[in-house]
Structure formats: structure tokens, C-alpha cells
Structure 1
Amino acid sequence: MSGQTELELAGQVVELVRRLGGPAAQAEAVVTRADLALTRFANSGIHQNVSESTVGVRLRVHVDGRTAAGGGSVVTADGLSALVERTLTVARLCPPDPGWPGLTPPMPMPDAPPVDEATAHAEPDQRADRVGAFVAAAGGLSTAGYCRTAHRSSAFANSAGHSAYGRSVEAAMDGIARRDGADGVARRSTDRLSDLDGAELGAQAAAKAQAAADPVELPPGHYEVVFEPAAVADLLQNLSFYGFNGKRYAERQSFAEPGAAQFDRAVTLVDDPLGGSGLPFDAEGTGRRALTLVEAGTTRAVAHDRRTAAEAGAESTGHAVAGGATWGPMPRNLRLTGAVAGPASAVGRSTTGAAAGAVVDADTAALVAGVRRGLLVTDLWYTRVLDPKSLVVTGLTRNGVWLIEDGTVVRAVRDLRFTESYPRALGPGAVLGLGARAVRQPERVDGAWWAAPSVRLASWHFTGGASG
């Protein structure tokens, strides 16, 4: 970077577009420095510690009514010139872009929460300490997973004179414990590495693995369910990508109907990018803020970038992402809130091979206590959308399913396949309870996370065993 800051580099790229593309060329540039570190473990031992520090440049230009985007990681003078020339050449070969919404004008940026410097500059032994605590707490069970830290500093500049700068950090841990082929899982995402308790997560994963031994097979059908936060995270992700996406809404491929009571009154969904350590602006330089998508069951909004906002006669909500012309704007920091569950009265009852209190925390146990007959589900995976308009999804359970009878977790169940409409499952009258504590779950996408409590749902359609 030759001593240049991210903001100086972004400005340099915009100036290069002006020089090489002419004064009429419009440009926006994002420069991000990412310091990422990952400590992996398997067979109860650390086998890999990796870190990387990269600088990436994203450029979008609009020339002669045509738009193109490009990116690169060579931030020398020659490398930046090559990026600009390449992107301008591509733009001139692209079809006209009549929907170009123009550049973000200069605007004030919201105040972002401060980053935790200890997390930004975490050392390998700090992650290793948490891995060691996870392994020790598993009590001899085989364990695997990772602990990661990330620090990003990002700058935005465009030829309309707008610029912005921000930083973000994240720490996350995801691990399993295994007993006789049965897995238990524990995950957490935070803004501070010091908030990750490896021993707590390891004990949680081990307790689930112990309780998941000797599962029985249940017939398919509609079951009342209690979903733990890891499973709820999959609901939030799919609702975000397919439902509250302004591009899909404009294309009539979304279930969302702003103003309609589409969810149970217990459900409030807020996209809160600054509720954690997040950047104060999106890929177009628009300031980010909390956006209420669902309020007490009523759909209030969908996410917009500048393009979808212009089509809808609205304003950008600060949800532009790289590649947004293809994928559309997506809320990626979704938090589920709502009514608080009753007292945790189910803790301590017996299960096959483990105490119920060891299988679930007190927050989830309060929901379990009200179930006459149903299933406790830890996690969902391999989920695929069958019908985007109604958001019918098929997928599998994993990392622990248990039968509940008369408020008691009684035995482990083999994994099941499901086919279910996510909005229907959360619809009016369908949510029988929410836990009191939202647990933030990590995501593979940069800067994304999902925060939710455990949820009790009146019905979930299981269509068969894991094999079909």
C-alpha cells in the first residue's frame, strides 16, 4: 500500500477513472484491508493455524450509459491503472443500463460502535486457549471445529464527492463433540474474543453428543417443535435472502407484503448492522441503520439498494452488497425478538442417557416444558429453496434431535428430512413461544450474523428420514 491509507487509495482509484475515462465517467471504489485468522482443531487437537492480511479493491463505473464492475488486489500504481482500464473497457462492451440510479451524494455517516482492539490484534495463543478449554470441557469425547478472529478496515469514495471509512471486528467459535457417531454442536459469534467461553461451548457440545446416543426412528408427519438458535438462524438467513430482498420483491419472487400481518404477533425482525461491530456504510456508500422488517407480526419493509429503491420509488436502506445487480440487497444482520418465555421449569427431568438440563439451557427448557408431544431440534443444514415465492424449503436436521413428551425430553431421534414454508411456520398463531435470550450465530459471509432465541412452533412438516 506504500503507506497510503484505505481512504487515500479509494480516492486514487476514482481519480484514475476521471483521467482515463473522461470527466463524464462516474465511479465508486471500495478499498478493504482484511486481517483474518483461523485456528482449526480435529481429533481433539489443533492441526492448523492460519492468518492472512489482504487488501482488496472493488470498482464500479458508469460510462456512456453503461455499467461495469471489477476488482483486484494489486494496489501498486500499475495494478490500479490496470484495474481501471480493464473495468472501463468492460463497461464499453456492456449493454445500456437504463436503470442506473446514480451515485450516492455526500451524506453524513452514522456513528458506528467502537471496535475491540484486543480482538482486532488477537494472537494465535489466545484462540488456542479457547480451543483447549473446549476440548477439556468435552470430557474425553472427540472434538473438532475452529476459533476465528477478523478485523476489517474499509473506505469508500466516489466521483460525486462522497467518502466514508469504518472498521469492524468479529470473533467466532464453532465446534462439535462426538460420541459413537452422534454429534453435539455449539456455536457463537461475538464482537470481542474475550466473550467466547470455550469451556462453556465445549460442555454444551459434549452434553448434546452424550444425549444423542442410540436414537430411534420416528415416522414422518407434522410435529410441534422447539428450535434452538442454530436452527432458527437458517430460517432467518432464508427469509433475508429470498423474502426481504428488494430485487426479489420487485420481481414478484418474494412472499413479503408490506403492511400485511404475515407473521405471528410474537415475531419482530430487525436488521441491525450496527448492533454489533459493523461498517457504517454499504457497498454504495449509503449509511447503514437499523431497519425493522417485521413489527409484531406485520411486515413493514424490504431491504433496498439504490437501484431497487429507484425502481420502487423509495430510498436506499443501506443494503447494497458487492454483486447486488445479480443478487439484490439483503439484510445480513438479522435479529429476532419478541415475547419472553415463561419460567424455565423443564430443567432436570430425565432423558435417555442424560439429564434434560444438560441437553438444553434454561431458556430453551422453558419452551420444552409446554410441549405435550413434539421434537427438540438443534440444527438445520443442506437447506434448499423449492419455491421462492412461498419460500418452501427442504433440508435436514443434524447435531441432535430429541422427542419431547409431556414437557420432558425423553429420547434421541434419528435425523429427519423436512419440507416446509418458512413464512407459514412463523405465521399468525404458529409461534407458541420465544426464548428470552438471543444467541448470535456466525456466518461464512463477511460481516453477516444471525441472532435469535430458541423458538417453539406449532407445526413443522417432516417428510422422511435423512436418506429421503
Structure 2
Amino acid sequence: MSPDTGARTETAERVLEAARTAVGGSADVDVTVEHEHLALTRFANSYIHQNVASDTDTVTLRIHADGRTAVNATTVTDDAGLAALVERTVAAVRLSPADPGWAGLSSRAPLPVASAEPDLATGGAGPEARAEQVKAYVDAVGDLTAAGFYRNRLVVTAYTNSEGQALHGTVVEAAIDGIAKTASSDGASRQASRRMSDLNGAALGARAAAKALASRDPVEIEPGEYEVVLEPTAVSDVLWVLGGYGFNGKSLTEGTSFVRLGEQQFDPSVSLVDDPLSGPAAGPLFDSEGTPRDRLELVRDGVTRAVAHDRRSAREAGVTSTGHAGASSAVEGAEPINVRLEPTVDLTPTEVEGPAADSSVQALVAQVRRGLLVTDHWYTRCLDPRRLVMTGLTRNGVWLIENGEITRPVKNLRFTQSYPEALAPGRVLGIGTHAPAFASKYGAYSAMAPALRLAGWNFTGGASG
């Protein structure tokens, strides 16, 4: 599969010129042309039952004229489809309400330099390559039942606007997500990367099986505050929530975010960045407004430094856009999309047997006198955005830790916890040495998440209430 950026750039320029001619005057116009190749292999009951793939071209046209803004998109990209896109967008902008928040178009600016070129073999990999890794996963699960998916994605984007900004880029990603099941328990493992070669189906399957076997016959414990070790899979949820609700420029300017710039809101061991340039997480180098994305330091040594902005929220805040505009950012706000909690030392972990998953997690568990090891968060929902209080469930394995040892599995628990308060000064007792990448199930986001040892996490009941 070839990412034909030249053809998509030519299409963007053609639509731009047609729209400028049709609307006339000094209108602001920009065009994005995106091709997404998404391929997926699903497996259940330890065998592959579905291979699907889609290729979608989308052209998005935005016009701002006479103080009004209209946006339209089409997946019909022949001459007639593009002409219809221009016609209806020009008609819409003349009927749209006034747009006082319009912040203008991005001016000419170069892209930052990424640490590596996109791995096109990953983006275009076929079902045979995915099946090889699924087989390794299923074989490693052994006599247990395996289920999950393996996907690879390639996105080619061209952007141009009437201010002369013109960019193109390619993003590739592969991700595997699976579980191993016994009659009474399950264990999960997942990972994402820019390169398929980073994903080891056998190791992930063995991890899921070990966790499922160690989760059998769980016991109930009393709710309350427990010291916890959150595995990277659970920490990825924490990072996405912090980014979406907190490090969101629109939320900050509207007063619904917990963020207070320049204050020591987190433990000094906490440093958070949004980074599309390095590490295993794949991310675009420019946003839907044509603003380049660079490494953004959100928190350094516990001090909150920045939030993500599109052009609208940046104008409102009196700063510059960080390159985080998206299809819904005007309504929902801009948020980090490749957020990373910096690990203590970025080392490749040593695989170990049992529910601790890797040596980094095991080292944190060894420091706990009495607490819980949590694999996953599930169905998390926000109760209070100002304090970022979340409620949710544990999933895919919880264990009691006593005197540095994992002693027995625990039934799933409901928690109600402010995420920033859990990471406040003095509350972070340890950070793992390895930050694997995870792909969100709900959008083109990723998180690079090490394990966390926290002084307290508030469990409010069993999974049923």
C-alpha cells in the first residue's frame, strides 16, 4: 500500500481554489484530504473468525466569510462529489450564524522532525502478518480460551489553506488487545506501537494466561482506601482522563478544569508530556487546522506547565495553538493525544511469571505492606470535572498484596477517586521503569504509561454497587 501524498495534496489544492473562486472576496478557506486504511483481525474461542479492512478517503472543507464559518466533509471524491462539497459549503457559510470565536487560519510553518520515518510495512500489513501474531498469542494462552483483536492502521493526510500553509504526513500504528479466560476468571494484555515488530504476541498471550490463572476463585474484601499498584493498562485510563478533562485548553478557560498553571499540583516524581515525535505511540505532526505539533510539556517535576490548545481556545487564553485541533475540539476542547507519564528509567522490562506482568510492576509490589494490585479500569465516568473525581470498576484481575507479596485474587471493586488528588505531592510512592504504549478504543489517541504505586485509592464497594 502506497501513501500517495502527491495525489492527495493535488486534490486539496484543487478544492481550495474551487472554493475560493466560488465564495469570492477575502474568505479564509482550508482543506484537509485524509486517507485511512484500517485492517482488523478478530479472534474468539482461540481461533480467528474475522478479517476486515477498509479504505476511506475524506475531504473536509472549511470556509470563513463575512464573520461566519461553515464546515462540510465528503467521502465521495470524484469530480462531481468535490464540486458538490464546494457548492453546499459555500451555501452553508452564507446561512451560518456569526462566529465571534474565529481565530483565523494557521500561517506557514514547518513541521518538527520526528525520530523515525513511518513504517509503511506496518501500516499496510496484510492478514497473514496479523494471523502470525494472533497464533503466537493463542498458542501462549495454551489450554485457556483466548479472544481479542489485532489491527493495523495507516493514515495519510494533506492540508492546505488560503494563507499558504501546506502540509502532508503519514501515521502508522499496530495494536493487539486480548484476554485469556478460565471458567471463573480472565486476564488481559494489550500494547500498541508504530512498528509491528515491537509487538510480541507470544509474550502478551503468556501474560494474559498467567493473570487469568492467578485470578481464579477471588475473595471479597471490605471497601475503603487502599495503597495500590496500578499496572500500565490501568494507568493509561488515568492519563486519558487527565488529558481529556484537565489538560484541555477550552476546559481551562471555561473554569471546569482542575489545572492551575504554574502550581505544584502533582508529586515531584510526576512529569507528563504530549509527544508525537518519539517513543512507541504514533501521532500526527500537525492538526486539523494545519498547526504543527511538537513535544508539549504538560507537567514537569510535579508543576503544571501547559495545556493543549486549538486556535480558538488559544485565542481566548491569549497564547498560541499547540497543534491539538480536531474534528470536535471547537465544542469539546483540544486535548493531548500522545500523552506520556515519564518512567523512572526507560528500560525494557524482564518478563516474569504471575499476575505482576513484568519486573517493573513486581518491583513496586515488593514495596507494599498491604494494598491492591490493579490490572485495568473499566467504564470510568466523571462525577466532578473540577476535582476530576471519577467512578469506575476494576477489571481483568485484582490481587491483595501483603508484605510485598501477591497473596490472593480479589473480586472486582468500584472506585470513586479524584485522579489529580491520587497523584498529588506525597501520594506517588513509585513509578515504573517502562512505559508501553496503548491505543484507545474510543478514538485515535494513545498513552504511554508506566506502572504507578500510589499511597491511596478510594474503593467504595463491590462491582455491583
Structures share a fold, TM > 0.5?
yes
How far 1:456 sits from its partner (Å)?
0.2
CA distance 1:267–1:247, shift in 2 (3 Å): same
How far 1:117 sits from its partner (Å)?
2.2
DSSP 3-state at the match of 1:460: strand
2:142 maps to what in 1? 139
1:351 maps to what in 2? none
| Greater Cα shift, 3-12 or 194-203 | 3-12
How far 1:3 sits from its partner (Å)?
11
DSSP 3-state at the match of 1:203: helix
2:58 maps to what in 1? 56
1:412 maps to what in 2? 409
Identical amino acids, percent of aligned pairs: 53
Paired with 1:209 and 1:185, the residues of 2 have a C-alpha distance of 8
How far 1:77 sits from its partner (Å)?
1.4
**Equivalent in 312, 316, 319 of residue 314 of structure 1:** 319
CA distance 1:34–1:3, shift in 2 (3 Å): closer
Paired with 2:433 and 2:410, the residues of 1 have a C-alpha distance of 26
**Aligned partners of 2:393 and 2:414 also within 8 Å:** yes
How far 1:283 sits from its partner (Å)?
0.8
Paired with 1:114 and 1:55, the residues of 2 have a C-alpha distance of 22
How many residues align structurally?
459
2:339 maps to what in 1? 334
1:168 maps to what in 2? 171
**Equivalent in 218, 239, 243 of residue 221 of structure 2:** 218
1:17 maps to what in 2? 19
CA distance 1:151–1:446, shift in 2 (3 Å): farther
Residue identity matched to 2:306: A
How far 1:442 sits from its partner (Å)?
1.3
CA distance 1:205–1:222, shift in 2 (3 Å): same
**Equivalent in 345, 355, 361 of residue 364 of structure 1:** 361
Give the alignment's Cα RMSD to 1 decimal.
2.0
Paired with 1:90 and 1:384, the residues of 2 have a C-alpha distance of 36
**Equivalent in 247, 251, 254 of residue 251 of structure 1:** 254
Residue identity matched to 1:263: F
DSSP 3-state at the match of 1:213: coil
Paired with 1:117 and 1:90, the residues of 2 have a C-alpha distance of 38
**Aligned partners of 1:207 and 1:359 also within 8 Å:** no
How far 1:4 sits from its partner (Å)?
6.7
| Greater Cα shift, 324-333 or 208-217 | 324-333
How far 1:422 sits from its partner (Å)?
0.4
| Greater Cα shift, 14-23 or 251-260 | 14-23
2:276 maps to what in 1? 273
Paired with 2:66 and 2:184, the residues of 1 have a C-alpha distance of 61
1:79 maps to what in 2? 81
Paired with 1:8 and 1:139, the residues of 2 have a C-alpha distance of 51
Residue identity matched to 1:310: R
Paired with 1:108 and 1:171, the residues of 2 have a C-alpha distance of 27
**1:428-439 equivalent positions in 2, closer than 5 A:** 428-439=425-436
2:308 maps to what in 1? 303
How far 1:340 sits from its partner (Å)?
4.9
DSSP 3-state at the match of 1:5: helix
Paired with 2:343 and 2:250, the residues of 1 have a C-alpha distance of 28
1:423 maps to what in 2? 420
CA distance 1:425–1:358, shift in 2 (3 Å): closer
**Aligned partners of 1:341 and 1:363 also within 8 Å:** no
**Aligned partners of 1:29 and 1:58 also within 8 Å:** yes
Residue identity matched to 1:19: T
**Equivalent in 44, 47, 50 of residue 42 of structure 1:** 44
Paired with 1:400 and 1:314, the residues of 2 have a C-alpha distance of 44
DSSP 3-state at the match of 1:307: helix
1:209 maps to what in 2? 212
Report the TM-score, using the length of structure 1 for normalisation: 0.95
**Aligned partners of 2:374 and 2:397 also within 8 Å:** yes
How far 1:119 sits from its partner (Å)?
0.8
How far 1:445 sits from its partner (Å)?
4.8
Residue identity matched to 1:110: P
**Equivalent in 370, 373, 381 of residue 370 of structure 2:** 373
**Aligned partners of 2:123 and 2:174 also within 8 Å:** no
Paired with 2:332 and 2:429, the residues of 1 have a C-alpha distance of 34
Runs of 4+ in 1 over 6 A off after TM superposition: 1-4
**Equivalent in 428, 440, 447 of residue 443 of structure 1:** 440
Paired with 1:104 and 1:220, the residues of 2 have a C-alpha distance of 52
DSSP 3-state at the match of 2:18: helix
